[in-house]
């Protein structure tokens, strides 16, 4: 009945974190336990009962702490953010050899809470559970959700809501903002320790490079380019790509006002606090690049020798981002339209499709799903029906058919099915799940997560979950609600 904690972050100096136990709650009750994930990460489900998941009992070997980090929030630098409502219990090493953090989110105030209560409402907790587990099932790198418990307490937001705690699992919780935290304090020694730690934990292959620091930057750039391209290929909008919400190990982290778009528009924004569209769907690569520049800035002093040269070298690595992103974006989207070979004109073909889709604000997920069907059946009717003005689509489809002449149809269909999900966490469904959970009904939560666990499979019995919202169900804005 033990959790085999094997903590490494706690061996870093005390200025990296603040030791803090979770604050006990009135009445812990388990809503959900992710048994599959527990097995994957090598924890014993019995050892992680509601008392532990709620923070009422500290298991042997845990070293609870809130991590320090800084961050640029909507472009403005805040030198101290930190875990204001999350506490790292400790780390475990899974049967796969991967070290992971187990964190409780919503577990009470910490040194970093400022005016916040350190708590979370059931809605955002369930939202993060559903969306992060959907991302994992889609094959997109992400933090994971291990469990949801309710606290038996209310939290005060715009209204009072049931309190809950999410047990989150991640390869680590080190962010661009973690580097910025020490950089802002001029603490080069801490930056050196953090860099060595990150290389050992996440990028051991760069340790032997001529310049491990530059090689680290290169790898982080590559992982972020690939990640943002993956997001965009499923219509995902993170919503708060602040530097404190960008993980160094390359997973999607911090599911706040994120959303999967229904009707396609490249400038789509959902977050109610993103008034300028800084984090719009098509602005995500530029923002990732900007965030990575902030990361690079913290590393320059660690590159030995002439600082001007170090700056130039770091800049050169950063300059690889747009190209790396474009390649990932284009190859992902060509797979979505069933092109298995690569030609220079392909990205133009992809952009042309996105262009006609935007004109009719066609449902992003349905479009690619029906396009796949059309390759299988040879009939365009269903996909055409998505457009207000199908002539634009017809012209594109003609070009597309010419491009794919001679490619193996079976292989194309397989590739398209593997790249085009049937099910995504649609906003109106999430709202339904959250509204029910606010009333203590978790049945919709259970149903939706079961459907989203197999996003690429046809599930005729769950076909209604494929549907876009009816006009009166459309969700226009999402909220942090923290």
When asked if residue 118 is in the footprint of ligand AMP (CB under 6 A), the reply is yes
Backbone dihedral angles phi then psi of residue 293, each to the nearest 5 degrees: -65, -40
| Residue 90 interacting entry, from ligand AMP, Mg ion, none, C-beta within 5 to 8 Å by type | none
CA–centroid distance for 323 within its chain? 22
Rounded to a whole number of angstroms, the distance between the first and last alpha carbons of the chain is 33
Please report how close the Cβ of residue 235 comes to Mg ion at its closest, in angstroms: 22
Q: Could you say which of 29, 193, 222, 480 contacts ligand AMP (CB under 6 A)?
A: 480
367 burial via Cβ count (<10 Å: 0-12, 13-18, 19+): buried
When asked if residue 440 is in the footprint of ligand AMP (CB under 6 A), the reply is no
- Asked if 28 and 53 touch (Cβ cutoff 8 Å), the reply is yes
Please report how close the Cβ of residue 480 comes to Mg ion at its closest, in angstroms: 10
Of residues 51-90, those binding ligand AMP (CB under 6 A) = 81-85
Give the Cα separation of 326 and 442 in Å (integer).
Answer: 41
- As beta bridge partners, residue 324 has none
Q: Which is nearer to Mg ion, 124 or 425 (CB)?
A: 124
Size of the site for ligand AMP (CB under 6 A): 18
Closest CB to Mg ion: residue number: 254
Give the Cα separation of 79 and 180 in Å (integer).
Answer: 7
Q: Which is nearer to Mg ion, 105 or 412 (CB)?
A: 105
Please report how close the Cβ of residue 256 comes to Mg ion at its closest, in angstroms: 7
* 321-343 as b/e: b if 16+ CB within 10 A: beebbeebbbbbbbbbbbbeeee
Q: Could you say which of 119, 175, 238, 268 contacts ligand AMP (CB under 6 A)?
A: 119
| Residue 256 interacting entry, from ligand AMP, Mg ion, none, C-beta within 5 to 8 Å by type | ligand AMP
Q: Which is nearer to ligand AMP, 44 or 74 (CB)?
A: 74
Q: Which is nearer to Mg ion, 245 or 420 (CB)?
A: 245
| Residue 32 interacting entry, from Mg ion, ligand AMP, none, C-beta within 5 to 8 Å by type | none
**Which tokens in the block code for residue 453?**
């666990």
Q: Which is nearer to ligand AMP, 218 or 274 (CB)?
A: 274
Stated as kind and residue range, the H or E segment containing 87 is: strand 86-93
When asked if residue 117 is in the footprint of ligand AMP (CB under 6 A), the reply is yes
| Residue 119 interacting entry, from Mg ion, ligand AMP, none, C-beta within 5 to 8 Å by type | ligand AMP
When asked if residue 113 is in the footprint of ligand AMP (CB under 6 A), the reply is yes
When asked if residue 116 is in the footprint of ligand AMP (CB under 6 A), the reply is yes
Please report how close the Cβ of residue 24 comes to ligand AMP at its closest, in angstroms: 17
Give the Cα separation of 23 and 109 in Å (integer).
Answer: 7
Active-site choice (244, 254, 313, 363): 244
Q: Which residues of this chain interact with Mg ion, rule CB under 5 A?
A: 245, 254
28 Cβ partners below 8 Å, 6+ apart? 50, 51, 53, 54, 56, 149, 150, 151, 152
Neighbours of 463 (CB within 10 A): 11
Annotated catalytic, 244? yes
Bridging pattern class, strands 259-260 and 160-170: unpaired
| Residue 321 interacting entry, from Mg ion, ligand AMP, none, C-beta within 5 to 8 Å by type | none
Sole window of 8-16, 45-53, 237-245, 273-281 interacting with ligand AMP (rule: CB under 6 A): 237-245
When asked if residue 245 is in the footprint of ligand AMP (CB under 6 A), the reply is yes
Please report how close the Cβ of residue 420 comes to ligand AMP at its closest, in angstroms: 31
**Which tokens in the block code for residue 4?**
């085999």
- Asked if 337 and 397 touch (Cβ cutoff 8 Å), the reply is no
Between helices 284-299 and 321-336, what is the axis angle to 10°?
150
| Residue 83 interacting entry, from Mg ion, ligand AMP, none, C-beta within 5 to 8 Å by type | ligand AMP
- Nearest Cα neighbor of 80 from 96, 95, 69 is 69
- CA geometry: angle at 215 spanning 213 and 221, to 5°? 105
- Asked if 232 and 284 touch (Cβ cutoff 8 Å), the reply is yes
Active-site residue set: 244
List of residues contacting ligand AMP (CB under 6 A): 81-85, 112-113, 116-119, 240, 244-245, 254, 256, 480, 482
């Amino acid at each position: 009945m033990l959790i085999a904690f094997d903590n490494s972050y706690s061996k870093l100096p005390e200025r990296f974190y603040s030791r803090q136990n979770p604050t006990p709650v009135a009445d812990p009750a388990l809503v959900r336990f992710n048994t599959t994930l527990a097995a994957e990460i090598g924890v014993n489900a019995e050892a992680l009962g509601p008392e532990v998941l709620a923070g009422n009992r500290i298991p042997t070997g845990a070293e609870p702490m809130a991590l320090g980090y800084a961050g640029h929030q909507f472009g403005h630098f805040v030198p101290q953010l930190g875990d204001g409502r999350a506490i790292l219990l400790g780390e475990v090493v899974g049967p796969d050899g991967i070290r992971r953090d187990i964190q409780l989110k919503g577990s009470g105030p910490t040194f970093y809470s400022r005016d916040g209560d350190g708590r979370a409402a059931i809605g955002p907790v369930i939202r993060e559970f559903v969306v992060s587990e959907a991302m994992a099932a889609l094959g997109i790198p992400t933090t994971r959700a291990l469990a949801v418990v309710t606290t038996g307490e209310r939290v005060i937001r715009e209204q009072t809501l049931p309190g809950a705690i999410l047990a989150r699992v991640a390869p680590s919780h080190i962010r661009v903002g973690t580097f910025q935290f020490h950089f802002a304090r001029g603490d080069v020694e801490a930056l050196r320790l953090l860099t060595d730690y990150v290389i050992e934990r996440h990028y051991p292959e760069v340790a032997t490079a001529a310049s491990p620091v530059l090689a680290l930057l290169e790898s982080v750039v590559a992982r972020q380019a690939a990640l943002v391209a993956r997001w965009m290929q499923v219509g995902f909008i993170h919503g708060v790509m602040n530097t404190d919400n960008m993980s160094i190990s390359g997973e999607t982290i911090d599911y706040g006002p994120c959303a999967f778009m229904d009707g396609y528009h490249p400038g789509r924004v959902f977050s109610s606090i993103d008034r300028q569209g800084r984090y719009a769907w098509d602005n995500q690569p530029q923002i990732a690049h900007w965030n990575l520049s902030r990361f690079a800035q913290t590393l320059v002093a660690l590159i030995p020798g002439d600082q001007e040269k170090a700056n130039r070298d770091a800049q050169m690595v950063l300059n690889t981002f747009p190209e790396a992103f474009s390649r990932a974006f284009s190859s992902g989207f060509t797979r979505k339209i069933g092109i298995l070979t690569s030609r220079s004109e392909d990205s133009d073909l992809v952009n042309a499709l996105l262009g006609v889709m935007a004109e009719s604000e066609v449902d992003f997920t349905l479009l690619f799903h029906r396009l796949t069907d059309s390759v299988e059946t040879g009939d365009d009717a269903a996909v055409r029906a998505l457009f207000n003005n199908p002539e634009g689509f017809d012209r594109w489809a003609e070009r597309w058919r010419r491009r794919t002449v001679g490619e193996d149809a079976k292989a194309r269909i397989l590739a398209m099915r593997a790249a085009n999900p049937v099910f995504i966490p649609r906003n109106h469904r999430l709202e339904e799940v959250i509204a029910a959970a606010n009333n203590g009904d978790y049945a919709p939560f259970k149903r939706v997560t079961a459907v989203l666990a197999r996003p690429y499979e046809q599930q005729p019995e769950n076909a209604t979950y494929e549907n876009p919202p009816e006009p009166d169900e459309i969700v226009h804005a999402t909220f942090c609600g923290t």
